[in-house]
Amino acid sequence: MHTIRFTVNGHVEQATVPATMTLLDLLRDRLALTGTKEGCGIGECGACTVLLNGNPITSCLMLAVEADGSDIETIEGEAIGGELSVLQQAFIDEGATQCGFCTPGMIMSARGLLNRIPDPSHEEIIEAIAGNLCRCTGYEAIISAIQLAAARLSQDIGSRDAQEGRAR
Amino acid sequence: MTRELSYVGKPIPRADAIDKVTGSASYTHDLCLPGMLHTALVLSPHASARIVAIDSQNAEALPGVRAVLTGRGLCYQLGLYMQDKCILARDVVRYQGEAVVAIAADTLDIAKAACQLVEVQYDLLPTVLDPREAMDASAHLVHPDLHTYEHMEGVFFPKAHTNIAHHQKIRKGSFDQAFEGADSTLTASFYNPPVQHVPMETHVSVAQALPGKRMEIWTSSQSPYTVRHLMSVCFDLPHAHVRVHVPYVGGGFGGKAGLGLEPLAYVLSRAAGGRPVKVAATREQEFNTLPSRQGLHSTIEIGASRDGKIVALKSTYVWDAGAYADYGVNIGRAAAYSGAGPYSIDNCWIDSFVVYTNKIFGTAYRGFGHLEILWGIERAMDLMARRLGMDPAEFRRRNLLKDGDTTITGEAFTSGHGNPLQCLESVAEAIDWGTPSEPSVDSYKVRGKGLAMLHKAPAMPTYTSCAVVIKLDEDGGGDILVSGVDYGQGTYTVLRQIAAEELRIPIEKIHITWECDTAFSPYDWQTVASRFAYMGGNAVIQAAADCLEQIRSVASQALNVAPEDLDFEDGVVFPKSDPTRGIPYSKLTLGYTFANGNSIGGPIIGHGRFIAKGLTHLDPETGQGLPAQYWTYGAHAVEIEVDTQTGEIEILNIVTALDAGKVLNPKLCIGQVVGGVVQGLGSALWEGFVFDAKGRFLNAGFVDYKIPTAKDIPRHMQQILLENPQPGGPYGARGVAEHPMISVPSAIGNALYDALGIEFNTLPLNYERILTRIKEKVEPS
C-alpha cells in the first residue's frame, strides 16, 4: 500500500492505495467522483478523461500512485458554486449531449484544449476530441459547442471562466 | 381557429442536459449499494462444445467469494418472443464468449481471481457458422430441442429439428409468372456482417433478492416493464414483487431492449443470501458475450418492364441469428413485411429465415433489420436501373409507393403515410443529382454520387400500449410519470413540450424524473421501434385533457360558471366571457377552498393511455395483414471521394430527408439525424465482426473494431425534415429516431459505383475491400 497526496478540483486529498489501483478507480470508488466514467478500461474510448496538471489524460490507464503530488480536475469541478462554466452551457445550447455517458470525458478534453488554445481551429477541436468516443451525437454538435464556448470566452473576458483563469 | 403553438415544434433544450454536463447524472454504472457484491464471468473459449465438468471448489474457497453459479442449477428458459436462452450455459456452449460460470465476490478483483481458479472441461461439438449451411438438413443442430421451446404462437414459426427459428413468408400476386414475363431481370446477392451497438455504458444490472419472494433491480435497460414481466414469469413471482428501476442509461440502440443481465444478477443475489449484486459487462464482454446485430445474407431478384416499372420482386433473407434468436425472430418478421423497400410491387415473394449458428447472438439494433435489407434492396435498385439504362433516381420515381397503391402485405398506401417521393426529390435536388461531381484536386482521388431510399415501421406486438400519469403540483406545475426510457433520444423533453402545450402552462413548470420505477411509473411496453414519442405523446395529450377536465369541473363550481364556458391559458382557468375572473391552477390542483373554508375537488391526477390500433397478425402463408401503426419514409444522397491509392472513402456531403409528419423539436430531431447518419457510416465503412474458422471472435474490442470518431464525420451533413402529417400521431408526428441510420451504407455503395465503376455487395466498405477491388480492376488476375 502507498500513501499519496494530490489535489482534486482544488481540494487536498490523501489516500492509501494498492499499487495496482487506477486513478479512475480512486476517483470513482474512493472519492465518489462518479462523473468520470469507465467505457472500456483500456484507454480507447476517453470516457474517463480528467485533467492532470491541466492536461487531459485517460484515468483508466494511469495508476493512482502516479498521481502523487499532482493536480487533478474532474467534471465535478467544472461548475463552480452551482454555476455552469461557459463550456458546459455551450454543450447545453448546442444539444451536444444525448445519452450523456461520454459527456464528462468530452468536456474535460475540451477544457484541456481551451486551456492550451483559447481560439482553436476546427481541426484542433477534432484532434482534441478524437480520442473520445460518442455513439449518439455524431460529434457535430460537440464540435459546435466547443467552438461556441471559445467564441463566448473570447468575447467576454470578464466571464467567470476568465476570472477563474481557466481559459488561459 | 388554429391555436399558435408555444412549445411543440420549438427547439427546447433537453431537460436532462444539466445533469449530464455536470457529471451528476447517475447511471446504473455508478450505483453502489451497501454490501453490494461484484461479478466476474468465466466465458466459453469454444463456439460449440459440451460442458463435461466444472470444478469450482478452489474458487468457492477463496476468501471474499459469496456465490459461484453454473448453468446446471439454473433451469430457466428466457425470452420475449422465443424462450431459447439460459441464464448461464447449461450442458452445452453455443458460442465463444458465452458465460459458463458467474462469481460474485466482495470486490471485482476477488471475483476475477476466483474465475482464474475455475476449471471447465469441454468436449468439442461440431460447429456451424454460416447460416446458409445451417439450413441444410444435415447441419449440426444448435438447438436440438427447438420444437419444445415456448414462443409467441401464431406469430413465429420455428421449424422443428432444424436450425430455423422462424420463417416469415410474404406472397402477393404471382412472382414466377411476372418475373418470367419481365423485359429485364436481375439477381444479386449481398452480405452484412454482424456488428455491435457499442453503447458507451456497457450492459450493467444490480439486483437484490428480498425476503418474501421479492426482488429489486436497477438496470441499464430500455425496457423496465418488459424486464419486470419476464423476471416475474421466469421466477414465478407476482409482478408487483419485481421492482425495476431504470436510472440514466448510457445509450442502448436496441441492445438494451428485452432482458439482459438482470436474471444473472438476481440469481447471484439469491445465492449470496440476498446481498445486492452488480453485474457489469466489460467492453470485451459487451462485444463477445452480449448480443449484437445479426448478420444477413440476402438475394434480391427483380423483374422490370422496359419503361422502368418493377413487375416482380423476390427477396430471400437468411439471418445469422447466432446462438439465440429471441429478438432475431421478430427482426426476421419485420424484414419480411418491409422486405421490398418503399416500392409498389404487385408480384412479390419474400422468404425471411432466422437461422441459428454458433456465433454471438443477435438482437434489436437501431433500424431493426432495415439497414441490412435495404443494403441489398437499394443496391439492387441501382443495378436494375443501370441494366435498363435508366437514371437510378428516375427508376425509383417510377416505383415508389403513392396514394392508391397497396403495400406487399395488402395495406392501402395513402397520403397519410407521408411522402417518399418528396424525400427522394429533396435529397436529389440538394445533392445536385444529375450533375457529375467536380473532379478532386488530387489526381489519385475520384468522386461519385449515390442515393438510396429508406422506410421503416415500428415492429411491435399488435397490443403494444403505454400509459402516462400527470400529477399536478401545488405551484400549478405538473409531473409526468412514464416508464418509457429516455436514453438520449430526447423523448422526455418532447413529452414536456406536449404537456405544456396541452395543459397551457409554462414548460418550466413541467417535470419528468429521470428514473423509471415500476413501483410508481405506469406501464409502457418498452422503449424501442421509434414509437415512444408517438405513443407516449398521445398518452400525454390524453392525460393532460383528463387534468383539464378535472380543473374545469372544480373551477365551474368555484366560479359558478357552466363547465363549457371555461377556457385555459398560461396556468389560469377563466370564464370565456370574463377572463379577469380567472383562477390560477395552483389554487385548484389540491382542491379549491371557498372564502368560508369549505373545500371541493382534491388532488388532480390525470391519466392517459394509448394502444396500437388495428394491427393484425400476418397470415402465416402469405404474410398479408396490417403489421404497422405508421411508416416513416426517407432518403439519403451522398457525394464521396475515394482515394484510389489507399481505398479510403471520404464523405464530402450527405443529405438526409425524412418525413417526420411533424417535427416536435427541431434541435433534438436534427440531433437524432446527425447521430444516426454517423452511426450508419460505421456500418457502411468500418464495422463488422470477424470470426476465424473455429468461430472465435477476432475483433471483440475497440482496438480492432473501429467505430466513427470525430475525425471520421462527413465534411457536410444536411437534414431536410418534411412535415406531411400522420393521422393519429401527436400533432401529426411519426417516429424518426432509428431511420437516419438506415440506407446510409446503400447510398455510399451506390456512390462507390459512380466513382469507381465497381459493384460492392458486401459490407463494410473498408479500405482493404475497396483497394483490393480497385487493384483487381486495374490488373485482372
For residue B268, is it within any domain? yes
pLDDT at A145 over 50: yes
Please, what is the average pLDDT of chain A?
94
- Give the count of Cβ contacts less than 8 A between chain A and B: 166
The total number of structural domains in chain B stands at 3
- Over residues B381-433, the pLDDT tens digits come to 999 999 999 999 999 999 999 999 999 999 999 999 999 999 999 999 999 99
Mean predicted confidence (pLDDT) in B563-572 = 98
Hey, is the C-beta of A66 within 8 angstroms of any chain B C-beta?
Answer: no
Residues of chain A with CATH 1.10.150.120: 86-163
Those of residues 106-135 in A touching chain B at CB distance below 8 A are 107, 125-127, 129-135
- Over residues B180-230, the pLDDT tens digits come to 999 999 999 999 999 999 999 999 999 999 999 999 999 999 999 999 999
- pLDDT for A168: 32
Regarding whether B451 and B486 lie in a shared domain, the answer is no
Regarding whether B451 and B323 lie in a shared domain, the answer is yes
> Are B481 and A89 in contact, with CB atoms under 8 Å apart?
no
> Are B540 and B468 in contact, with CB atoms under 8 Å apart?
yes
- Over residues A1-42, the pLDDT tens digits come to 999 999 999 999 999 999 999 999 999 999 999 999 999 999
Domain A86-163 CATH (choose: 1.10.287.70, 3.40.50.300, 1.10.150.120, 2.40.50.140): 1.10.150.120
- pLDDT for B640: 98
> Are B665 and B12 in contact, with CB atoms under 8 Å apart?
yes
- What is the 8-class DSSP label of residue B396? H
- CATH for the stretch A2-77: 3.10.20.30
Domain with residue B105: its CATH number is: 3.90.1170.50
- What is the 8-class DSSP label of residue B489? S
> Are B253 and B679 in contact, with CB atoms under 8 Å apart?
yes
pLDDT at A162 over 70: no
Peptide bond before B764: cis, by omega within 30 degrees of 0? yes
pLDDT at B511 over 70: yes
Mean predicted confidence (pLDDT) in B568-581 = 97
C-alpha to C-alpha distance for B77 and B86, rounded to whole angstroms:
5
Which residues of chain A make contact with B706, given a CB cutoff of 8 A?
A: none
C-alpha to C-alpha distance for B30 and A35, rounded to whole angstroms:
8
Q: How far is A75 from chain B (nearest CA, A)?
A: 6
Regarding whether B469 and B454 lie in a shared domain, the answer is no
Hey, is the C-beta of B674 within 8 angstroms of any chain A C-beta?
Answer: yes
For residue B472, is it within any domain? yes
Interface probe for B, chosen from A40, A101, A127, A147 (most Cβ of B below 10 Å), is A101
Beta strand ranges found along B345-394 (DSSP E): 348-356
Please tell me which of the candidates B32, B201, B713 has its beta carbon nearest to residue A140.
B713
- pLDDT for A167: 42
Interface probe for B, chosen from A108, A135, A140, A146 (most Cβ of B below 10 Å), is A135
Complex ipTM over 0.95: yes
Q: Which of B621, B641, B738, B779 is catalytic?
A: B738
pLDDT at A164 over 60: no
Please, what is the average pLDDT of chain B?
97
Domain with residue B671: its CATH number is: 3.30.365.10
Regarding whether B713 and B574 lie in a shared domain, the answer is no
Q: What percent of chain B has pLDDT over 90?
A: 98
Regarding whether B725 and B673 lie in a shared domain, the answer is yes
Residues of chain A with CATH 3.10.20.30: 2-77
Those of residues 6-35 in A touching chain B at CB distance below 8 A are 28-29, 33-35
- pLDDT for A163: 52
C-alpha to C-alpha distance for B774 and B766, rounded to whole angstroms:
12
C-alpha to C-alpha distance for A118 and A150, rounded to whole angstroms:
6
Residue ending a domain, among B280, B303, B322, is: B280
Is B200 in contact with A39 (Cβ distance < 8 A)? yes
For residue B172, is it within any domain? no
For residue B213, is it within any domain? no
Residue B225 has which C-alpha cell? 416493464
**CA end-to-end span of chain B:** 72
Q: How many residues in chain B?
A: 781
Residue B405 has which C-alpha cell? 397503391
- pLDDT for A156: 74
- Over residues B83-106, the pLDDT tens digits come to 999 999 999 999 999 999 999 999
Q: Domain residues for B586?
A: 17-24+464-611
| CA-based nearest residue to B537, from B734, B281, B709, B678 | B734
Please tell me which of the candidates A33, A131, A136 has its beta carbon nearest to residue B251.
A136
Regarding whether B314 and B420 lie in a shared domain, the answer is yes
Q: How far is B667 from chain A (nearest CA, A)?
A: 7
- Evaluated on CA atoms B490, B487, B709, B753, the torsion sign reads negative
Residue ending a domain, among B227, B256, B280, is: B280
- Over residues B432-490, the pLDDT tens digits come to 999 999 999 999 999 999 999 999 999 999 999 999 999 999 999 999 999 999 999 99
Regarding whether B536 and B632 lie in a shared domain, the answer is no
Mean predicted confidence (pLDDT) in B709-715 = 98
For residue B150, is it within any domain? no
Mean predicted confidence (pLDDT) in B125-151 = 97
Is residue B60 part of the annotated active site? The answer reads: no
Is B674 in contact with A140 (Cβ distance < 8 A)? yes
Regarding whether B623 and B499 lie in a shared domain, the answer is no
pLDDT at A160 over 60: no
- pLDDT for B3: 80
Regarding whether B599 and B715 lie in a shared domain, the answer is no
For residue B84, is it within any domain? yes
Hey, is the C-beta of B152 within 8 angstroms of any chain A C-beta?
Answer: no
Is B490 in contact with A137 (Cβ distance < 8 A)? no
Regarding whether B315 and B273 lie in a shared domain, the answer is no
Q: Taking the mean position of all CA atoms in its chain, how far away is CA B364?
A: 5
For residue B285, CA distances in Å to A104, B164, B455, B699, B702 come to 24, 26, 32, 12, 12
- pLDDT for B778: 82
- pLDDT for A158: 52
Query: At which residue does the C-alpha cell 492509501 appear?
Result: A16
- pLDDT for B341: 98
For residue B160, is it within any domain? no
pLDDT at A165 over 60: no
Residue ending a domain, among B611, B627, B654, is: B611
Regarding whether B685 and B581 lie in a shared domain, the answer is no
For residue B184, is it within any domain? no
Regarding whether B478 and B436 lie in a shared domain, the answer is no
Please tell me which of the candidates A36, A126, A135 has its beta carbon nearest to residue B198.
A135
Burial category of B113 from C-beta neighbours within 10 Å (exposed 0-12, middle 13-18, buried 19 and up): middle
